[in-house]
């Protein structure tokens, strides 16, 4: 008999103005793979739950990482102007990356906001690096790395 989990995390989702532009960061810099993409669907459940106004055109992409299928989505909202989200930011994704220096440099080359590096101390005392990066649509991505030798 299989016991069903009460909750299973499926994926994070960021709203973006242009999926193709967003992919230059999420795919080309962070290394996500485009797994699935679907164009505008006027019956999409996203329209009411994201409060998408009339006249917008949807574009939806699901992204994966090796061994981590379909863990990120980008909901493109085109043909309207996305208003800036109020601060403080209310969400982020957090990614362990193998080469934070390369991710930082490639992000800066795209013109993205890369915050000054911070010192990360984990709940169990390990020390590492953490860096905030803001994508083209003001979504926050925090990257980190904890060296193996500690």
pLDDT tens-digit readout, 96-137: 999 999 999 999 999 999 999 999 999 999 999 999 999 999
Tell me: the pLDDT tens digits for 22-31?
Answer: 999 999 999 9
Start-to-end C-alpha separation, the chain: 42
Distance CA(113)–CA(136), nearest Å, equals: 9
At residue 149 the predicted structure's pLDDT band, cuts being 50, 70 and 90, is low
Distance CA(131)–CA(134), nearest Å, equals: 10
Torsion of CA 109, 31, 89, 38, to 10 degrees: 110
- Annotate 94-108 with DSSP letters as a single string: EEE-S-HHHHHHHHH
Question: In this predicted structure, what is the pLDDT of residue 23?
Answer: 98
CATH 3.90.180.10 fits 12-78+90-145, yes or no: no
* DSSP 8-state assignment for residue 88: S
Residue 124 backbone zone (phi > 0: left; psi -120 to 50: alpha; other: beta): alpha
């Amino acid at each position: 008999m299989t016991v069903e989990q009460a909750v299973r995390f499926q994926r994070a989702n960021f709203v973006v103005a242009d999926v193709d532009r967003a992919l230059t960061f999420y795919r080309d810099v962070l290394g996500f793979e485009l797994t699935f993409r679907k164009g505008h669907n006027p019956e999409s459940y996203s329209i009411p739950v994201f409060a998408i106004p009339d006249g917008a055109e949807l574009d939806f992409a699901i992204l994966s990482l090796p061994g981590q299928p379909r863990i990120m989505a980008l909901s493109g909202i085109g043909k309207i102007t996305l208003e800036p989200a109020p601060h403080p930011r209310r969400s982020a994704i957090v990614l362990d990356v193998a080469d934070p220096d390369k991710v930082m440099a490639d992000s800066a080359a795209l013109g993205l906001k890369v915050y000054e590096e911070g010192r990360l101390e984990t709940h169990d005392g390990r020390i590492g690096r953490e860096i905030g990066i803001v994508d083209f649509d003001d979504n926050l991505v925090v990257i980190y790395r904890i060296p193996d030798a500690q």
